[in-house]
């Protein structure tokens, strides 16, 4: 990843992140994190430009999916939703859930790069207002980018050294990751009840 960032620079970050946020699985978050780590040692890469790319590219790509959702994805989801784990019964449950918790769903989904694309299509197909979608989506992406770029820039080079030297810190980070995974599993079960 670092060779890609060093060779193609900001262009590689934009392309990877844009394609990743269109729903095609590429390591968009990984390239942003790698670029943030490299920005500390490479003068050609600006941490500010990485941050700006990370907060503006996902909303642009996901807005395309959102407006596609508004213009006909509902019909597509009814015929092909089972391919992305949204058969008719889950689609109906998601509709009810989205009417109650749409804003929170968009906000939290924007913090998870693997979920942003699907949530954008669903938000559009459930007729969420575009301004409301962009506002909540951008807020979630801002938190995601802040954490990702901040961790990459401030801890990227030293994180393995910190973990080797301080077992308590390692255990605290592992515990936080386990809690985050448990929270995601609970949230996922609410959305995609079988």
* Cβ atoms of residues 149 and 51 within 8 Å: yes
173 and 55 Cβ atoms separated by less than 8 Å? no
Q: At what angle do helices 10-21 and 28-39 cross, to 10 degrees?
A: 160
**Distance of alpha carbon 144 from the chain centroid:** 7
Question: According to the model, what pLDDT value does residue 142 have?
Answer: 93
Strand extents, DSSP E, 70-192 = none
Q: Cα-flanking dihedrals φ and ψ of residue 2, to 5°?
A: -65, -35
Q: Which residues contact 187 (CB under 8 A, 6 or more apart)?
A: 108
CB atoms within 10 A of CB 65: 22
Supply the pTM of this predicted model.
Answer: 0.70
Sequence-distant (≥ 6) Cβ neighbours of residue 136 within 8 angstroms: 103, 104, 106, 107, 110
More confident residue, 56 or 80: 56
pLDDT per residue as tens digits for the range 96-153 = 888 888 888 899 988 887 788 888 888 888 888 899 999 999 999 999 899 888 888 8
Q: pLDDT tens across 137-185, in order?
A: 999 999 989 988 888 887 766 665 665 676 677 677 777 777 776 776 6
Domain ranges of the chain: 2-72+94-156
CA distances to 83, 89, 105, 129 from 179, rounded to whole Å, are: 29, 29, 19, 33
Per DSSP, helices labelled H in 22-166 are 28-39, 47-68, 74-80, 88-109, 113-125, 130-155, 159-165
Residue reference for tokens 């299509």: 121
d(CA 138, CA 166): 35
Q: Ramachandran region of residue 24, left (φ > 0), alpha (ψ -120 to 50) or beta?
A: beta
């Amino acid at each position: 990843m670092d060779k890609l960032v060093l060779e193609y620079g900001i262009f590689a970050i934009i392309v990877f992140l844009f394609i990743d946020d269109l729903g095609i699985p590429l390591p968009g978050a990984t390239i942003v994190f790698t670029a943030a780590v490299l920005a500390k040692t490479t003068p050609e890469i600006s941490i500010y430009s990485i941050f700006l790319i990370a907060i503006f590219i996902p909303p642009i790509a996901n807005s395309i999916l959102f407006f596609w959702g508004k213009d006909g994805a509902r019909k597509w989801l009814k015929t092909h939703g089972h391919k992305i784990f949204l058969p008719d019964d889950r689609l109906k449950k998601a509709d009810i859930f989205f009417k109650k918790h749409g804003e929170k769903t968009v906000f939290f989904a924007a913090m998870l790069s693997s979920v942003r694309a699907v949530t954008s299509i669903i938000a559009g197909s459930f007729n969420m207002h575009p301004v409301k979608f962009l506002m909540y989506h951008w807020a979630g992406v801002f938190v995601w980018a802040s954490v990702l770029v901040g961790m990459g820039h401030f801890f990227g080079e030293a994180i393995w050294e910190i973990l080797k030297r301080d077992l308590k810190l390692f255990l605290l980070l592992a515990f936080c990751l386990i809690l985050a995974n448990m929270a995601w599993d609970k949230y996922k079960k609410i959305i995609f009840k079988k």
